[in-house]
Amino acid sequence: MSGLRPFHLAVPVRDMAESRAFYGGLLGFAEGRSAPEWVDWNCYGHQLVTHLDPGLGPEGRVALHYNGVDGKGVPVPHFG
Specify whether the backbone of 57 is left (phi greater than 0), alpha (psi in -120 to 50) or beta: left
Reported as a pLDDT band with limits 50, 70 and 90, residue 15 is very high
pLDDT at 77 over 70: no
Cis peptide before 77 (omega within 30 of 0): yes
Query: Per the domain annotation, does 42 fall within a domain?
Result: yes
| Main-chain dihedrals φ then ψ at residue 21, nearest 5 degrees | -65, -40
- The overall longest dimension of the chain from CA atoms, in Å, is 44
The 10 Å Cβ neighbour count of residue 39 is 22
The CATH number of the domain where 44 resides is what?
A: 3.10.180.10
Q: Which domain does 48 fall in, by range?
A: 1-54
Instruction: Give the pLDDT confidence score for residue 79 in this predicted structure.
Output: 63
User: What's the CA gap between 11 and 37, in Å, rounded?
Assistant: 12
Q: Does any domain span residue 59?
A: no
Judge whether 71 lies within some domain.
no
In a domain, 65, yes or no: no
| Count of structural domains within the chain | 1
pLDDT tens profile 29-63: 999 999 999 999 999 999 999 999 888 877 777 66
Q: pTM score, two decimals?
A: 0.74
